Structure 1
Amino acid sequence: MEDFDLLVVGGGKAGKTLAMDWATSGKRVAMVERGMIGGSCVNVACIPTKALVASARALRTLRRAHRLGLAEVPRADVELLREHETGVVDGMVKTNRKQFRDSGMELVLGEARFTAHRTVDVTLDDGGSRTLRGDETVIDTGTRPLVPAIPGLADAGALTSDTLLRLDRLPESLVVIGGGPVGLEFADMFAAFGSRVSVTVPGPRLLPAEDEDIAEAVTAQLTASGVEVHTGRHVASVERDADGRAAVMLSDGTALMGDDVLVAVGRHPVTAGLNLAAAGVRTTDTGFILVDEHLSTGVPHTWAAGDVAGSPQFTHVSLDDYRILKANLAGDFRSTRDRLIPHTTFLSPELARVGMTETEARAAGYDVRVAKLPVAAIPRARTTLETEGIWKAVVDRDTERILGVALLGAEAGETLTTVQTAMLADLPYTALRDMIITHPTMSEGLNLLFAALQD
């Protein structure tokens, strides 16, 4: 048995950052990883998808070149797209590997399985095995795409957000099952690349976590980009015809035809092979590790972080989990409670949100005031001809504090940080309404948005 000050099982954002931090400080650290150097964000999630989102956005900008006084009309090339995506990913993987090595931590590539509290046997990728034990142990194995038990889905070779990135061609047609952020990002992206895209969801609308008016605006935006949206019908079955095309059969008998099918209905935790019972670690019915607000599993000196611990599935949340773990391992009592978590769905233009929706605020008993602003009213949007979208803010009438915003429009994710900062500082909405902001910028729209509050 090999003893370490810290044993990290899984190299997600929280785990790898903590491992490097401890190793740099001189502690003996081992991190076991199945093979994704840098975690899923670098390899199959945030980084490769946003690299392709950048390509899709550039393509859309260039296609309106004539309106900007330019003449070239580009097209998507799958080899160049792959070169761009893999170049970004390979560069970040190389950087992560160097950071791991320079920190002094021991990177162990293989499959870990708990045999006792804070103890794992690792089946090494290059053969053999090792037994590792940590004085402190952190589990950060992440999640994988969920593939539901739809008849014929597996046999039809359905793609996930992981495998879609490996396509060696651009499909002429693509059917997306799922109307959440991941499915819609791919739908929007492939529509820009020239694919005919259909999206189907069983519920009444896309993005059920958003207010209805925001979801409707996103649907209109996607429809204008050529995406066909089907709501209110579940997928009954999937099959390939004699020509190799996939038929996605809906519950009302409608058949959606596509060269490929993408399943984007959520993610499930990577815990099945860990033998967590031997570690004394409990999970939910769906396999997520049970932790308290301090990320403790309840087993002494055993912690979990990131997606596998049920944290909101964003890399920036996993980074905050690292901060919490670092503090608590040093004897502090930091908590996940009441975190103000922003998120952005990278459409063209993007949807960024922080805080409560109007629906959530009213359900919580707030007396709210609501402001809406068409993006076309922002001078910067007019100069770039990116006038699609709408901004929405929800304010507590009694305290004048901002409860939440949803920004659908160009550069929304960047603008959102200003609102988040105001919320964290507990400033009244008037601080943003009256703030002197550089003209012409998208952030200047915050002056206009909060001046439009309704009584």
Structure 2
Amino acid sequence: MLVGSFIQSSCNTNIALAHSYHRRQPTSDLIRGPSKGKWTSPVHPSRSFVSSSGFLKDKKLGLLFSHSRSRNTQRPLIVVCQDSFDYDVAIIGAGVGGHGAALHAVANGLKTCIFEAQDIGGTCVNRGCVPSKALLSSARRIRELRDRHHLRSLGVDVADVAVDIQAVAGHAQGLANRVQKNLGNSLKALGVEVIHSRAKVKSSQLVELANGETIRARDIILAPGSVPFVPPGIQVDNKTVFTSDQALKLEWLPSWIAIIGSGYIGLEFSDVYSSLGTEVTFVEALPNLIPGFDPEISRAAHRLLIQSRPIDYYTRSLATKVIPGQPVQVVLSDADTRVVSRELQVDAVLVATGRKPNTENLGLDDDDANLGIKLARGGFIPTNEYMQVIRGGEDQVVVPHLYCIGDANGKMMLAHAASMQGISAIENIMGNRHSVNHRAIPAACFTHPEIAYVGWTEPQARQEASQQGFPLEKSIAHFRANSKALAEMEAEGMAKILFNAQTGELLGCHIIGIHASDLIQEAANAIANQTSVYDLSYCVHTHPTLSEVLDEAFKDAKRKMLSRNIR
């Protein structure tokens, strides 16, 4: 029998491809008819076909395709219908999210184009996670080589360590260039048309380029990414006052730098600058440094990453005025009262206060677009769980054929989350209902030691346990009991898991320690696949490896479950 899912691909015509094979669905799932000698497509019911010698023939285009009923037939079944679309999918933004969406689209037979005004790879590849990891890699080696006590414990003695700042920066830029080239080549090799131009939405199926040219697409995916957020009162000159975009260039090394914000970005750059000998001062508006992480992990990070280094800080403080110069003038005010509390004079200021969606000039608020989209707080594009753009506000109506992925929707501002959202958007375009489980997506901060987590923090888990009425337990294992960590002389840190003590469901995992960013994946997969800590405790981990830290946590969790059940 004939069944199939129509894969739309257009170049002034619309190709629907399906395969003939045996399933329970009737022939009419694919082609309705015959009725008075004519057959019709459920995708384009206005088109009619006639049967001829075992084939169906499009009367207008003259295209033949098989309608064989053989159970073993694997011949492709092709229907061609005219329409006015240039592409099946048009993607605005070629960052990690847009790239992931494009690859998944062409893998499913969709004719795809992607618009990028700057560099392929977006923020992550060119100004974010990729070059910053290169800097952190250099910083880690510098820190290790300058720790004479640590090296002597390993039987190694090293003379004075010299650092070439330009070479360190060159390593980061070289890596970014290489990854950018690889991404561009992969798009071209798979047939994605890359259009180097700014693009904005004119309607949910029409894109306008910078030169005024318009392109029609059956579906449009918005993946514009984000840009650094600079609070009011801070003047950025990209010389002495700069964001992470400029800091990655490492054009000079200040003796004293103030970092405004102690989240992922600020923490990673504090690791880089302190390893190079720069004194660091954090300015944080919240009561504690390193917000957003599990409180227990934040306290450990404060001890390992702040107290042990030439870093001081001011919490509950706002940088209400920053004036570039030599020195840079920084005015701090109390975060609650807004009363000026002190003034600093430093060599440089890094603004690490987060990022905002890059939605300006995207055309969403243009009157002629008539999309009716009301941006959410912070400028994010309102998007439902299927990555469909909704009108926002009280009006939750879906905007047909328009999707948004990545930083611009504000669901989870991480590159790998954007990539998964891109895949999800294509699945939904294909008619396969799909949503992303963001609770199973891990995150990492690549300091030395690293921090990584997935799922709920302990306060979040306790709130859920209280609301849903289940018993919550936690289990902690330390790196100091791990043979591999001891061999590496990197025994600081711990792994903490949160779980439902009744069912064993893993609710969250938080790690600070050597290679935490790699270790977290096991917990992420467990949450995604709903594997209980009881089952995880019976998984065999290679000895001696760092993964045994999680093994110990899972085994302790099992003991707590059994103890609770016995009582």
Q: Same fold (TM over 0.5)?
A: yes
Q: Where does 1:175-190 land on structure 2 (aligned, <5 Å)?
A: 175-190=258-273
The Cα of 1:88 is off from its aligned counterpart by 0.7
Q: Specify the alignment match of 1:90 in structure 2.
A: 177
The Cα of 1:24 is off from its aligned counterpart by 5.9
Q: Answer yes or no: is 1:405 the counterpart of 2:509.
A: yes
Q: Answer yes or no: is 1:292 the counterpart of 2:384.
A: yes
Q: Name the CA distance, whole Å, in 2 between partners of 1:152 and 1:82.
A: 25
The 1:24/1:414 distance shift into structure 2, 3 A limit, reads: closer
The 1:156/1:14 distance shift into structure 2, 3 A limit, reads: closer
Give the counterpart letter for 2:165 in structure 1: V
1:174 to 249, 252, 257: 257
Query: Which range moves more in the overlay, 20-29 or 402-411?
Result: 20-29
The 1:7/1:153 distance shift into structure 2, 3 A limit, reads: closer
The 1:157/1:406 distance shift into structure 2, 3 A limit, reads: same
Give the counterpart letter for 2:198 in structure 1: E
Query: Which range moves more in the overlay, 341-350 or 100-109?
Result: 100-109
Q: Where does 1:55-454 land on structure 2 (aligned, <5 Å)?
A: 55-64=138-147, 65-72=151-158, 73-123=160-210, 128-150=211-233, 152=235, 157-222=240-305, 223-240=307-324, 244-251=326-333, 253-277=341-365, 278=369, 280=371, 281-297=373-389, 298-336=398-436, 339-364=439-464, 365=466, 366-452=470-556
The 1:5/1:212 distance shift into structure 2, 3 A limit, reads: closer
The Cα of 1:344 is off from its aligned counterpart by 0.7
The Cα of 1:156 is off from its aligned counterpart by 8.4
Contact preservation (8 Å) 2:359, 2:379 = yes
The 1:317/1:198 distance shift into structure 2, 3 A limit, reads: same
Q: Name the CA distance, whole Å, in 1 between partners of 2:532 and 2:203.
A: 52
The 1:336/1:447 distance shift into structure 2, 3 A limit, reads: closer
The Cα of 1:409 is off from its aligned counterpart by 0.3
Q: Specify the alignment match of 2:129 in structure 1.
A: 46
2:168 counterpart SS class: helix
Q: Deviations over 1:30-68 (max 9, x none)?
A: 211111212211111110111111111122222233332
Q: Deviations over 1:197-221 (max 9, x none)?
A: 1111011112322232221111111
The 1:274/1:205 distance shift into structure 2, 3 A limit, reads: same
The 1:172/1:399 distance shift into structure 2, 3 A limit, reads: same
Q: Deviations over 1:247-268 (max 9, x none)?
A: 3222263334422111111111
The 1:198/1:293 distance shift into structure 2, 3 A limit, reads: same
Give the counterpart letter for 2:548 in structure 1: E
Contact preservation (8 Å) 1:118, 1:279 = no
State, as a whole percentage, how many aligned pairs show the same letter.
Answer: 29
Give the counterpart letter for 2:385 in structure 1: E
| RMSD of aligned residue pairs (Cα, Å) | 2.3
Contact preservation (8 Å) 1:20, 1:104 = no
The 1:157/1:129 distance shift into structure 2, 3 A limit, reads: farther
Contact preservation (8 Å) 2:412, 2:438 = no
Contact preservation (8 Å) 1:119, 1:279 = no
The 1:359/1:285 distance shift into structure 2, 3 A limit, reads: closer
Give the counterpart letter for 1:56 in structure 2: A
Query: Which range moves more in the overlay, 413-422 or 289-298?
Result: 413-422
The 1:336/1:279 distance shift into structure 2, 3 A limit, reads: farther
Q: Name the CA distance, whole Å, in 1 between partners of 2:239 and 2:87.
A: 46
User: What TM-score, normalized to structure 2?
Assistant: 0.75
Give the counterpart letter for 2:399 in structure 1: V
Contact preservation (8 Å) 1:156, 1:238 = no
Query: Which range moves more in the overlay, 364-373 or 374-383?
Result: 364-373
Q: Name the CA distance, whole Å, in 2 between partners of 1:163 and 1:341.
A: 28
Query: Which range moves more in the overlay, 89-98 or 389-398?
Result: 389-398
The 1:392/1:229 distance shift into structure 2, 3 A limit, reads: farther
Which structure has more relative contact order (CA 8 Å, sep 6+)? It is 1
Query: Which range moves more in the overlay, 373-382 or 43-52?
Result: 373-382
Contact preservation (8 Å) 2:97, 2:416 = no
Contact preservation (8 Å) 2:228, 2:243 = yes
Give the counterpart letter for 2:175 in structure 1: V
The Cα of 1:153 is off from its aligned counterpart by 5.8
Unaligned regions of 5+ residues in structure 1, if any?
A: none
The Cα of 1:329 is off from its aligned counterpart by 1.2
The 1:323/1:121 distance shift into structure 2, 3 A limit, reads: closer
Q: Deviations over 1:288-346 (max 9, x none)?
A: 11111111112211111111122301111111112211211111111135641211111
2:503 counterpart SS class: coil
Q: Name the CA distance, whole Å, in 2 between partners of 1:48 and 1:378.
A: 31
Q: Name the CA distance, whole Å, in 2 between partners of 1:41 and 1:401.
A: 33
Q: Deviations over 1:406-440 (max 9, x none)?
A: 10000111111122223333333233444332221
Q: Name the CA distance, whole Å, in 1 between partners of 2:345 and 2:162.
A: 24
Question: Which protein is bigger by CA-based radius of gyration?
Answer: 2
Q: Name the CA distance, whole Å, in 1 between partners of 2:508 and 2:500.
A: 10
The 1:408/1:339 distance shift into structure 2, 3 A limit, reads: closer
Q: Name the CA distance, whole Å, in 1 between partners of 2:476 and 2:331.
A: 39
User: What TM-score, normalized to structure 1?
Assistant: 0.92
Q: Specify the alignment match of 2:94 in structure 1.
A: 11
